[in-house]
Chains A and B, each alone.
Chain A
C-alpha cells in the first residue's frame, strides 16, 4: 500500500493528451513539493518533473506538472509511442518518520 495514490493505468492514442493524478496528505503533498519520474521498460527511473512543475533540461514541454492542496497531476500532451512507460509521483513526508514517499505508479499505454 503506497502512501501516495495513483491510478494503476492510463491510456491514450498518439497525439492525444492524458493526465495522471497523485493523491496524498497534508504531511507530504500538502506541505512539500512533488516530483514525477518516468520509467521506461527495463530502465532506471528518470526525473521528469521537480518542484511541482519544473522540467529538468532535456525534458520536452509536452510534460507538465501541477499541484493543488494534497493532490498533484502530471499532464502529457501530444502523446507519442515513446511515452509508454510507468510514471511515479513522489514527495517528502514530514510525519513522525521524515522520508520520501512514492505513489504506486501508473502504467501509461499508448494505443
Chain B
C-alpha cells in the first residue's frame, strides 16, 4: 500500500531554513502531485503547496515567497524548504498525495507528520 514518511530536523533556529523530505513507497513519485500541509498545535490545517515531477507547482499565497518544493524521482522523494522561519512556523508538517487536478482538494494518502519547532 501507499506509505509516506516525513523526515528532517525537528528543531530549527529562527531566520534559518526548515528542510523536510517525504519518502514515498507503494507509488511512483512521478505520476502524482504531492502536497505539503502543516498544523500548529491546537489549530487547523494549512496547505503549503503541491508539486508534480515535471516541476509544476501551486502554493499557498501567504507562504509562496518563502517556499521551495522539489521532487527527486531517483529516490521517490518530495522535499520542502521554508526559508526565514519564525516561531509562527512551529507546527506538525505533513506530506500527502494529491490533489491530482486543479478542481479538487483530494489528499488520499498522508504521512504521519513530523513536529518541527522553531526556537533558538
Chain A residues with CB under 8 Å of chain B are 2, 31-35, 37, 43-47, 50-51, 56, 88, 90-92, 94, 96-105
Most buried by B among A2, A33, A100, A104: A100
The A/B interface has a contact count, at CB < 8 Å, of 80
Which segment, of B7-15, B56-64, B79-87, faces chain A?
B56-64
Q: Are B60 and A33 in contact (CB under 8 A)?
A: no
Shortest beta-carbon distance, A105 to chain B, in Å? 4
Tally of B interface residues using CB under 8 Å? 26
Residues of B within 8 A of A32 (CB): 103-105
Q: Are A92 and B113 in contact (CB under 8 A)?
A: no
Q: Are A50 and B106 in contact (CB under 8 A)?
A: yes
- Bitwise interface map of B from 19 to 43 toward A, beta carbon under 8 Å scored 1, else 0: 0000000000000000101000000
